[in-house]
Structure 1
Amino acid sequence: MWQVRIIAFQPNDIHVFLNEKALALVDAKSRQKLKQFYHKEDAFRGLIARLLPRLLVKEYDIGSEDLFFGTTQHGKPYMTITSAAPIGYNITHDNGLIGMVYSTGDDLFADPPAYRLGIDVMKLSPPKGERIIDFINIFSEQLTALERSILLTNPPLPESETLRRFYLIWTLKEAYTKALGLGLGFDFRQIEYDVPRDKVRINGNPPIGWQFVRFQVNNMESGQEYTYVGVAARFVSERNGGEQEVEGKVESEYPNNWLKIQSAVSFMEEASLKLGNWN
C-alpha cells in the first residue's frame, strides 16, 4: 500500500494545538527540539511532521517500543520497526501544508531503511517585489533548456500558469532527489520535467521503475484561499515499473484514493485520542 497524506492548517490552529498536551504526544528529544524553534509556525509544522509517522504506525497496531527513528548519512529520516513489516515515508511542508508519502510491505523497494520515496509541496505565491521572469532566471542554472522554454514563452504565458509550471518542475526535482536520499549539490539539470506533456527524463532517458504523481491542494489561510502544488515520487522496481506505469509519465488523476487530505484540527484531535498513552 502507498498513500500521500496532506494536513492543512490555518494560523489559528497553531495557538489552539501548540501546547504542552500536544507536545507530550512525541518523545522527549523531539519536544526539546520543537521548543527551540523561534517561530511558532515552524514548531507547529515540526510537531505535525513528527506525529504523522507515529499515527501511521499506530494504525498498524505497532507499539512505540518496537519503533526507532533515525537519519541516513545524508540526513534523510527513516524509521525501523522490529515487530512488523517495514514502512517507508518522507515528509514535506510549506506554509500551511504538511505532507507525507508512505509505502508499506511489498510496495517498498531499494535502499532500506529509508527506501526510495520522496515528496515535495510548494505554495503558488508570486515572488514579492520581483518580476516573474527575474524570479525564474534566479533558478535558470538548475533548469534544462526545455524547461526554460516552457516557462519563458513568446508570447508570455499568464503569470499564474508560469508559476504553476515552475513550482511543478521544482517540486518534482525535489521529490526525486529526496526519494534517492541525496544530499545537497545534486545537479537538478539531470532531471527534466516537461509539464505540458507530463513527461520526465533523467539524464535524457525515461526513469525506469519510477512513479511520479502530481497533486494540487487548496487551503484557507487568514480568510483567503491559496493553492499548493506538489509531486510524490517512488521507486516501484524495474521488474514492475514497465508493466504498471508508462515510463516517465507523471500521473495527475486520483487512482485508488492515494491522496488523503485532512485539516489540522481533525488530525490533532485524532492524534490526541490515539497517541495519548502511546509514548
Structure 2
Amino acid sequence: MEIWLVAYEPDVLTDEIYNAGLTLVDGDSQTRIKRFYHRADACRCLIGRLLPRMLLKHRGMPLARMTFAKTDAGKPYFTTVLDPPIAFNVSHDSNFIAIAFAPGQANPPAYSVGVDIMEVRMPRGETCASLAETFGEQLTALERRQLRALTPTEVLRHFFWIWTTKEAYTKALGLGLGFDFNRVEVDVAAHTIRVDGAIPKGWRFIRFEVSSASGAPYVGVAAELGLSDTPAVIDKVSNDTPVVRYDATSFIRTAVSELSGKFQ
C-alpha cells in the first residue's frame, strides 16, 4: 500500500493552474467542482480527482484511456483494465488531500482500500469531557472508557485515531454512511480492532501523522483488505508503506505537464 498527500493552503493556486487542472477531468467532475461556492473547496475536489489520474499515469496509462465508475454506494473505482488491478480511495480535510492505493484483491477491487484524514481539533461546541457523550452512539463502551481516562492533551488525538480507523474501514468496504460505527471497536492502546466483537481477518491498517504549514496536526488511517487469513493488524507508517507529500501548486502543475504536455 502507498499513500500520497497533497498539502493545500488557501489562495495559493493561480487561475491559470486551476483552470489547466480542470481540463484534465471529465465533464461531470468539472460541473461538480464548479458548483462549490468557496474556491478552497473547489481546489480540494479538483486535487481529489487528479490524484487517481496521476496514479494511473505513473502506471503508464495515457489520459485518454483512463476510465472510472462508481459502486452503488458511490465509491469511485477504476474501470481501466489494469494488471494487477489497483484499488484506491481519496479523503480530504482542511489542508490535506490523501489517496491510498494498493493491489485490488477483493472482488470487485473497489472494496479493498479506504483512507481517512482529519485535523486534530476540537469539534465545534465540544469539550474534552463531552466527546465521549456526544459521540457515544458511534463509540463502544471500551472506547468511551478509554477516552474518559485520558488527560485533556491526550483525548483529542486518541478520539481521532478511533474515528479515522472506523472511517477507513467502512470506506474500504464501500458502505457509505449507513454503517453503524458502534459495530467497530478500536482499542488504540492495544493496537487492535474488532468488528461485531471479533478481530476481522485479512485487514491491515496503517496510521500516519502530518502537520500543515501552520503546524496544525493531522492524523490519518489507510485500510487495506488482502487475501490473508491472519487477524487484522494496526501499524504505524514504515518503509514498506511510503507516504509521499506534495504541495498543491507543484502537484497540479506536474499533473498538467504529464497528462497534457502544458507547462513543460
Q: TM-score range by the shorter chain?
A: over 0.9
The CA distance in 1 between the partners of 2:170 and 2:17, in whole Å, is: 31
Q: 1:248 to 1:17 in 2, by over 3 A?
A: farther
How much does 1:71 deviate?
Answer: 0.7
How much does 1:109 deviate?
Answer: 1.4
Give CA deviations for 1:115-160 in whole Å, capped at 9, x if unaligned. 311000110012344322223321101101100011011xxx3323
Give CA deviations for 1:58-93 in whole Å, capped at 9, x if unaligned. 111112333221111111111111365422110000
Tell me, what secondary structure is at the counterpart of 2:121?
coil
- 2:7–2:247 Cα contact (<8 Å) kept: yes
Give CA deviations for 1:241-262 in whole Å, capped at 9, x if unaligned. 42xxxx2331014132422222
How much does 1:269 deviate?
Answer: 2.1
Match of residue 196, structure 1, among 168, 189, 197:
189
How much does 1:48 deviate?
Answer: 0.3
Partner of 2:28: 29
| Alignment-mate amino acid for residue 11 of structure 1 | P
- 1:17–1:268 Cα contact (<8 Å) kept: no
Partner of 2:243: 259
Q: 1:265 to 1:158 in 2, by over 3 A?
A: farther
Q: 1:83 to 1:77 in 2, by over 3 A?
A: closer
Q: 1:17 to 1:124 in 2, by over 3 A?
A: farther
Aligned: 1:185 with 2:178: yes
Give CA deviations for 1:150-180 in whole Å, capped at 9, x if unaligned. 1011xxx332310101111011001000101
The CA distance in 1 between the partners of 2:218 and 2:72, in whole Å, is: 30
Q: CA RMSD in A?
A: 1.9
Q: Which runs of 5+ in 1 are unaligned?
A: none
How much does 1:22 deviate?
Answer: 2.2
Aligned: 1:225 with 2:183: no
Match of residue 159, structure 1, among 139, 152, 156:
152
The CA distance in 2 between the partners of 1:34 and 1:74, in whole Å, is: 20
Counterparts in 2 of 1:70-89, with a 5 A limit?
70-82=69-81, 84-89=83-88
The CA distance in 2 between the partners of 1:249 and 1:126, in whole Å, is: 28
How much does 1:10 deviate?
Answer: 1.1
| TM score, norm. by length of structure 2 | 0.92
Give CA deviations for 1:24-58 in whole Å, capped at 9, x if unaligned. 12222221211111111111110000000111111
Partner of 2:111: 115
Aligned: 1:172 with 2:156: no
Partner of 1:210: 203
Partner of 2:252: 268
| Alignment-mate amino acid for residue 151 of structure 1 | L
How much does 1:17 deviate?
Answer: 6.5
- 2:75–2:110 Cα contact (<8 Å) kept: yes
| Alignment-mate amino acid for residue 223 of structure 2 | A
Counterparts in 2 of 1:119-130, with a 5 A limit?
119-130=115-126
Q: Which runs of 5+ in 2 are unaligned?
A: none
